[in-house]
Chains A and B, each alone.
Chain A
Amino acid sequence: MTPLPDIFAALADPTRFAIVERLLAEGEQSAGELADIADITAPAISRHLKVLREAGLVTQRIDGQRRIYAVAPRPLQAISAWVIEHRDFWEASFDRLEAAIGNRRKESR
């Protein structure tokens, strides 16, 4: 799978982020349906889709004349895991540590 920093880099663009959000919210869409995502040309949209595909964030399938795009779940699951992993992991653990200390105090009284 694409390394996380590369996934983040691919998403760190307002148009590409909007494409991923649209595909998440509404399911798969053709390039034509995605055209209104930003006030840019169709070739520009295609370039953004290419970046997303190369980062593994978006898949493409051909349906007749149309190219249909969808979000690939795994990279986004990896981001999700990364986000909860660190700060939340430690904050939540420290909350429990504080509670454990409180309990110990009560028991020793």
Chain B
Amino acid sequence: MPDLRLTRDLDATLDEMWDFITTPAGLVQWWGPEGLSVPEHALDFSRERPWFSVMSGSEGQRYKVSGQVTHVRPQTSVGFTWAWHDEADRRGPESHVTLGLEPLGPGRVRLVLDHVGLPDDEAAQRHTEGWTSSLKKLERRFAPA
């Protein structure tokens, strides 16, 4: 099963969480791993429209991902397509992301991420962990100058 599901239980109200996962002001506060900045973006998941973000690392690496918002169910879920661009700005294989909210009680919300349609080679899944150390070596070896 290649599809990725992550859940997080968070101390926030539904209103707050909805802003965090749909508005540009909310999204830029958490979008992308620590250490990457988001110098360019159209991150607005409140309407069905195209979106993109460009993340950049301290050593000048540039990662662009883009898609189209596919559904917006207020305070319940948003869906959007997702594809990374390569260095020539060609868009790669498209997958789909849903961010869902489930109220757990006053001031407590479960955030559920479903990322589906990822490359689904079973061997890839089995071997991913074993590759990590090789990939670390590789990154040092082929780090962009």
Contact B16 A94 (CB under 8 A): no
Q: Which residues of the other chain, A, contact B131 by a CB distance below 8 angstroms?
A: 11, 79, 83
Contact check, A25 vs B137: say whether CB atoms are below 8 A apart: yes
The verdict on B89 contacting chain A, using a C-beta distance below 8 Å, is: no
Shortest beta-carbon distance from B108 to chain A in Å: 11
A91 touches B6 (CB 8 A): yes
Tell me whether A5 and B34 are in contact (CB under 8 A). Answer: no
Select one of B11, B30, B63 contacting A93, CB under 8 A. Answer: B30
A79 to B119, CA, bound (A): 11
**Chain A, interface size: which category?**
35 or more
* SS of A interface (majority): helix
Most buried by A among B16, B29, B124: B124
Q: A80-B138, A94-B111 are in contact. Are A100 and B30 (CB under 8 A)?
A: yes
Q: In the complex, A87 Cα to B93 Cα: how many Å?
A: 16
Task: Please measure, in the bound complex, the distance between the C-alpha atom of A99 and the C-alpha atom of B10, giving whole angstroms.
Answer: 10
The answer on a CB contact under 8 Å between A83 and B10 is no
| CB <8 Å contact, A94 and B128 | no
B73 within 8 A of A: no
Contact A79 B33 (CB under 8 A): no
8 shortest A-B CB distances, which residue pairs? Answer: A12-B123, A92-B33, A8-B124, A97-B30, A96-B30, A5-B121, A100-B29, A73-B142
What residues of chain A have their CB less than 8 Å away from a CB belonging to chain B? 3-5, 8-9, 11-12, 17, 20-21, 24-25, 73, 76-77, 79-102, 104-105
